[in-house]
Amino acid sequence: MKQLAEFNQQDLNTVTAHDKTILFFTATWCGDCRFIKPAMPAIEAEYPDITFVEVDRDQYLELAQELGIMGIPSFVAYQDGQEVGRFVNKDRKTKQEIENFINGLAFTK
């Protein structure tokens, strides 16, 4: 999974400008994030046409606030720079719930 810090320009428009992107907001201290993190490689493998970008909520607190990310882990999906869906709350998320979220997105081909 890519890290937001890997992008030369770390602004939202640059990261989400092309194709399908899902931002995965997490933090090192978050138990629910640690719970789902081992499942993320399998989820990524199931959706090879989506770029997954891990965003450390503490490192990018301003971005999290701008997007209204109050609970983690949370997911915000984009296609060609436009938000197409979000799975944002403070609850623990299962692999199946994340897959259901992705499958229900309004991505166009």
In the CATH scheme, what architecture does the domain 2-103 have? 3-Layer(aba) Sandwich (3.40)
What is the predicted pLDDT for the residue at 9?
63
What is the predicted pLDDT for the residue at 8?
62
Active-site annotation, residues? 30, 33
- Please list the rounded mean pLDDT of every run of 10 residues in the chain (109 residues): 74 85 95 95 96 93 90 94 92 94 88
What is the predicted pLDDT for the residue at 89?
85
Q: What amino acid is encoded at 1 in this protein?
A: M
Rg over CA atoms, the chain? 13
What is the predicted pLDDT for the residue at 108?
77
Q: How far is CA 31 from CA 57, 72, 78, 83, in A?
A: 14, 9, 26, 27
Q: How far is CA 98 from CA 11, 14, 74, 102, in A?
A: 24, 24, 10, 6
CA distance linking residue 94 with residue 47, whole number of Å? 16
CA distance linking residue 95 with residue 55, whole number of Å? 18
What is the predicted pLDDT for the residue at 73?
96
Q: What are the extents of the domains in the chain?
A: 2-103
